[in-house]
Amino acid sequence: MSIPNAERLVVAADFTPDSTGRAGVRKKVLGLGEELQGMGIIIKLNSILRACGYDLIKQLHDLGLQVAADLKLVDIRNTLETDGTLLAEEKPEFLTVMGNAGVDGMSSLRIALPNTEVWAVTVLTTSDDTVCGEIFRCPVNEGVLGFARLAKRAGINSLILSPKEGKLVKSDSELADMKLNSPGIRYPWSEMKKDDQVRFLPAGEAVASQGIHRVVVGRPILNAGPNDDPTKPNSKREAAEWILKDITDSLAEKEKTKQREGVVTI
């Protein structure tokens, strides 16, 4: 599945509000868009999109950026169809829906957004087997495969899952052609206190070894800034550049390995 390497990076503009409230977050999102302008990456919007409205999609489009509306929609079929119809006016390139919305709900949303790639969310990357069992009454791997199959039946060909389930999905013949999008990307230089991610990998490993098509990265980029440590990026743009380089280098090394082993890539 051919994807330009720049479009393999989805930057999560999930800024935490401060005393400036949603106006301050909106300003940070647009500032991030300006800083990353021209890189070819995708911007993901979550809480701020709910707070400020769909006009924010147009503002990022005006900067030449593709937008993923991470609304994680879940509701009855009629409501999801309405959600899709209203969102269609702003033409987000990508949109998330919860896999537990069911086949009818996901299908109606997809049909209402013919020009948007819908991503079905399987099991959140903050969940381990215990949490997944409490919510869905099954371990993580079983939940991921179950929601993936529901999405497939709904005509959705893209998933949100952790990078550690990439091979699991790709090894299932029914799901092997699904596009895989993974949050839960971390690096030694991006370690943070109170990190809630429990299933994670570096971007290069996720793409080259697990078959992930796009990685969704928030805090490792958002927390980057001026510092005196040469092992850490000095800006959000530099952090994004480092991650893109990791992806490019890892895919190049994978291709070299294939060639050494006599594997022909078509």
- Ranges of H-type helices in 63-171: 77-88, 102-112, 129-136, 140-153, 166-170
Report the run of H or E that residue 215 belongs to, with start and end.
strand 214-217
In Å, how far are 203, 241, 251 from 233, measured between CA atoms? 16, 9, 22
Compute the distance between CA of residue 240 and CA of residue 181 in angstroms, rounded to an integer. 17
Sign of the alpha-carbon torsion through 172, 177, 183, 185: positive
Tell me which of 27, 28, 72, 91 is the catalytic residue: 72
- Ranges of H-type helices in the chain: 21-35, 47-52, 55-62, 77-88, 102-112, 129-136, 140-153, 166-170, 203-210, 219-222, 236-260
Closest CA to 189 of 146, 156, 168, 220: 220
Compute the distance between CA of residue 219 and CA of residue 85 in angstroms, rounded to an integer. 32
| 72 catalytically annotated | yes
The residues that are catalytic are 72
